[in-house]
Amino acid sequence: MPSSARSRTTAAPSSHSVPVTPRTPTPPTSGRCAPRSHPSATSSSSCRRSTATGRWTSCGAVPSQPRGPTGSATGTTSSRNGSTTSVHARSRARRTSRPARHPRRACACSSPPSGYPSPPRGAPPGSRQDEPVSTPDIARPSAALPSTVAGETHDELVIKKSRFLTRIVHVTTVEGADAVVAAARKEYWDARHHCVAMILGTHADQQRSTDDGEPSGTAGVPMLEVLRHRGLTDVVAVVTRYFGGVLLGAGGLVRAYSGAVAQALDVAPLVRREVLAELVVAVPFTDAGRVEHVLRTWVAAHDSVLEDVTYTSCAELTVLVPPHLRATFDADLAAATAGAVTAVELGTRIADVPA
């Protein structure tokens, strides 16, 4: 019988038929697979023989559908048990009924080179993934120190007949902050609430807040968040509330207390913290006034600080200068005093510089 007829006809099983030993097919040449249901199907991958069925199957690629004369997939059908089944339906049934294959091993040439990160999942096609990905160093600490306020600032905010009296004070210790709160309680002894938020330490490492009878999280924490957002330290904020008879609700209290602190900080004088070189200039009493005037003019133009004059056997002027301006300071001082006065460096310290 011709091979074409043999591929389309299935013999019915018979109990009197003589068992026939299946003929071992020869492996196809040129690395091509020809499954029994698709004589013209091809695959570009290598082939292997199944030990269970004796067939030669493809290792990875799915056989393509046979093509008709016009290049489109043929829609021929065959009759099996009185039903008509399309070639596409049979192909899909075979693919779903195949046993699970072992996962392929990744080729060595497809892995990224050593020292390069793996490409991100879901990267768009055509994107360059053979270059190192630069990510921001979020763990690197900032060199800038937190700022602070100078002196004491008072402000008032009225919301729905409730008065919010804010007091912003520069402090350096917890005891100093407690003294500010005690003074506010003594001055406004008839007020219902005295909410507090404070941040202390060179690097803002001590933080504290209290709601003082307000609903939890509606007063002290919002005030503290405003101080954090402004990047401040060594400061205490006290907001005293006089109730006006109208309930503000949780959201209204949060906006009121945070707004009161923000409004007071807008008018408070700010100073920034920097690491400066501490210099001491010793001059005779006769030249103290002239040299002090020269130094005050210089520090005003170079973001430096001139502290109070100390009188001992001579007049000693302490100047705080940015380290990168030390050479400029020495040159200007020598030019103003004809080289008769020099500065002695004592070290470095953190100082407040007007913003």
Q: Do residues 285 and 308 share a domain?
A: yes
What digits encode the pLDDT tens for the residues 3-18? 444 444 444 444 444 5
Alpha carbons 55 and 22: distance in angstroms, whole number: 11
pLDDT over 80 (residue 20)? no
Q: What pLDDT is attached to residue 312?
A: 86
Alpha carbons 139 and 158: distance in angstroms, whole number: 42
Is 341 a member of any domain?
Answer: yes
Residue 175: what residue type? E
Q: pLDDT-based confidence at 228, cuts 50/70/90? A: very high
Q: Which of 36-50, 252-266, 335-349 has the lowest mean pLDDT?
A: 36-50
pLDDT over 70 (residue 22)? no
Is 119 a member of any domain?
Answer: no
Q: What pLDDT is attached to residue 27?
A: 53
Is 212 a member of any domain?
Answer: yes
Q: What pLDDT is attached to residue 333?
A: 92
Domain end (from 268, 292, 320): 268
Q: What pLDDT is attached to residue 163?
A: 93
Q: pLDDT-based confidence at 57, cuts 50/70/90? A: low
Q: Do residues 285 and 211 share a domain?
A: no
Q: Do residues 213 and 296 share a domain?
A: no
Cβ atoms of 280 and 318 within 8 Å: the answer is: yes
For 103-121, what is the mean pLDDT? 48
| Greater pLDDT, 229 or 75 | 229
Q: Which two tokens stand for residue 18?
A: 């003589």
Q: What pLDDT is attached to residue 145?
A: 87
CATH number of the domain at 336, please.
3.30.70.240
Domain end (from 7, 40, 64): 64
pTM: 0.55
Q: Do residues 152 and 263 share a domain?
A: yes
Alpha carbons 221 and 113: distance in angstroms, whole number: 50
Q: Do residues 160 and 263 share a domain?
A: yes
Q: Which two tokens stand for residue 99?
A: 């046993």
pLDDT over 90 (residue 61)? no
Residue 199 zone, left/alpha/beta (φ > 0; ψ -120 to 50; rest) = beta
| Greater pLDDT, 63 or 183 | 183
Q: Which of 143-147, 198-202, 255-259, 345-349 has the lowest mean pLDDT?
A: 143-147
The tally of domains found in the chain comes to 3
- 105-134 core/surface letters (b: 16 or more CB in 10 A; e: else): eeeeeeeeeeeeeeeeeeeeeeeeeeeeee
Q: pLDDT-based confidence at 160, cuts 50/70/90? A: very high
Alpha carbons 194 and 76: distance in angstroms, whole number: 88
Q: Do residues 227 and 305 share a domain?
A: no
Domain end (from 235, 268, 301): 268
- Residue span of the structural domain in which 53 resides: 25-64
Is 190 a member of any domain?
Answer: yes
Q: Do residues 202 and 179 share a domain?
A: yes
Q: Do residues 259 and 178 share a domain?
A: yes
Is 233 a member of any domain?
Answer: yes
Q: Do residues 318 and 225 share a domain?
A: no
Percent of the chain residues past pLDDT 70, beyond the cut: 60
pLDDT over 50 (residue 38)? no
Mapped onto helix, strand or coil, the DSSP state of residue 148 is: strand
Is 129 a member of any domain?
Answer: no
Is 284 a member of any domain?
Answer: yes
Q: What are the C-alpha distances in Å from 72 to residues 67, 69, 84?
A: 5, 8, 21
Q: Do residues 229 and 188 share a domain?
A: yes
Residue whose structure tokens are 């003294």:
179
For 306-332, what is the mean pLDDT? 91
For 135-149, what is the mean pLDDT? 58
pLDDT over 80 (residue 141)? no
For 30-46, what is the mean pLDDT? 46
Is 106 a member of any domain?
Answer: no
Q: What pLDDT is attached to residue 21?
A: 53
Q: Which two tokens stand for residue 198?
A: 């404070």
Q: Do residues 288 and 264 share a domain?
A: no
Q: What are the C-alpha distances in Å from 255 to residues 117, 184, 194, 207?
A: 45, 22, 16, 21
Cβ atoms of 335 and 346 within 8 Å: the answer is: no
| Greater pLDDT, 182 or 120 | 182
Strand segments, DSSP code E, in the chain are 47-49, 56-58, 77-80, 83-86, 148-149, 152-159, 162-170, 193-200, 206-210, 235-242, 270-283, 305-306, 310-311, 315-321, 343-354
CA-atom Rg of the chain in angstroms: 43
Q: pLDDT-based confidence at 31, cuts 50/70/90? A: very low
pLDDT over 50 (residue 332)? yes
Mean pLDDT of the chain: 75
For 164-190, what is the mean pLDDT? 94
Q: Do residues 248 and 333 share a domain?
A: no
CATH number of the domain at 200, please.
3.30.230.30
Cβ atoms of 198 and 235 within 8 Å: the answer is: yes
Q: Which two tokens stand for residue 148?
A: 């602070």
Q: What pLDDT is attached to residue 52?
A: 61
